[in-house]
Amino acid sequence: MASATVVRGTAAAAALALLLAVPAHATPHESPATGADAAPRALPAPDMTGVWNVLRTVRRQGAPGAIARIDDRNTAHWAALGVADRRTGRAISNADRFRIGSVTKTFSAVVLLQLADEKKLKLDAPVNRYLPGLLPDNRITVRHVLSHRSGLYDYTNDMFARTVPGFEAVRGKVFTYRQLVNRSLSKPRTTKAGGAYSYSNTNFVVAGMLIEKLTGHSVRTEFRNRIFKPLNLRDTFYVHPGKKIPGRFARGYLTPDKAGAAFVDATEQTVSWAQSAGAVISTTQDLNTFLSALLGGKLTSRAQLAQMQRWVPAGGVQSYGLGLRRRDLSCGVSVYGHTGAVQGYYTYAFTSKDGRRSLAALANTSNNGTVLTSMRGTLESAFCGKKAKARHRAERVERYEDVAPAVPVHRNRD
C-alpha cells in the first residue's frame, strides 16, 4: 500500500488559481441552497486509515488494484494498493488513467446546461423539438432525459445479459447514436414521461445527440473546449471509437458470470455502446478538479447549477438531479457526483456541497457487486472521518444504476 498527504506549494497554487478562474458560463456566486442542501456542514478531517482499510477490503474481494485521492482545499491525500497490470505486476498509482464509465454523464449534463445558459436549449422543451421524430412521445423533455425520468428502456439490459459474451460481442463495434436509441425503442417504455426515476443509458445517448445537433460539433470537441481545456484536465479524454487508453493507465478486469472463472482483460474497447453515457477516460486528480469546479459554480451559471440539483428519489440514501447524484452519508453529510461502472472499472467521484473537498476512487475490476458495495466506504471515510458508520449490507448495490440495471450482479467474491 502507498499513501501520502501533500500540502501543495507554489506550482499547485498556480493550478488552483487556474481552477478558480471563472469561465464565460459562470457567475462568481455559489449556487443557492435549498432543503436538505441548505448549508454546507463543517467536515471532520478525512480518515485515511479508513480509506486504506476499504482498499484492502476490495483487494481481498477480488479487485487487482484500488486507488483513492482526496483533495481538501490545499491538501491532497492519496492511497493505492495492488496492481495496475496483472501480467507485469506493475503497482497501481493515482497517476494512472482509467475508464470512468457513467461519471461521463455528468460531463454531458454540464455541456447541455451551458447550452441552456447560452439560450440554445430549454430544459423543459421536448427532445423532439431539437431532434425531430427521434422519440415516440413528444412529452419527453430534456429535463426528463437528464434526470432519468423519460421511461426510455435501457438497451444495455439485453446487450450485457451475459457478461463476457455480451462484452466480447460489442468491444470492437462502432455504433451510431441512432442505432443505440433504436435498440431502446424496440422495447416498451418503463414509465410515462416525467414519471419515477428509472436509470437508463439511453437517456445520455440522447444527451450526446442533443450536444452534437445544437453545437454542430462532436461530443469530444465540446467536452474538450468547454471542460477539459478550461480546467486544465491534462489526463482526461473522450476516446471513441479508438480502443486504447493513451499514456500511463490501469488495466481493467471483467469478472465473468461463472464463479471462479478467469478475469477477462477489458481494457481495450471502443465503448461505442456507451459514448456520451460512458466513454471518458480520466484520473482521480482530474475528477476531483472537475467536480470541485462544478459544485463551486465555475462551469455553469448559478441558475443552471440549481437546476442540476433539483432532486428526485433514486433509491436508498441517494437522489438524482440532472446528471448528478446526491448521496446522504451516515454522519448527515451529503455529497455530490456520480458512480461509474464500465467493463473492468468501478469509479466513485463525489464532492462536498461547496466543492472544497472531493474524493475519487477506483477499483480496476467490474461485475463484482461486493467490491462496488465496499467502495462506498471511501465516501464515508473521506467526508465523515472517524465518525463513519457502516451501512446495512442489504442496501441496494449501485451497479444497478450504471451498466445493465436489470442484470443480477455477482456478490460471491469475498
Sign of CA dihedral 373, 379, 381, 387: negative
Q: State the DSSP string of 103-146.
A: GHHHHHHHHHHHHHHTTS--TTSBHHHHSTTSSS-TT-BHHHHH
Grid coordinates representing 99 are 475508464
Asked if 384 and 44 touch (Cβ cutoff 8 Å), the reply is yes
Q: What share of the chain is helix, strand, coil (3-state, %, to 5)?
A: 35, 20, 50
Asked if 266 and 169 touch (Cβ cutoff 8 Å), the reply is no
CA distance 251 to 343: 11
Identify the residue whose cell numbers are 480518515.
47
Q: State the DSSP string of 182-195.
A: HHHHTS--SS-TT-
Asked if 86 and 253 touch (Cβ cutoff 8 Å), the reply is yes
Sequence-ordered strand ranges (E) for 178-317 = 237-238, 253-254, 264-265, 280-282, 312-313
CA distance 87 to 223: 33
The reply to whether 102 belongs to the active site is yes
Single out the catalytic residue among 3, 93, 102, 150: 102
CA distance 91 to 106: 29
Residues taking part in catalysis: 102
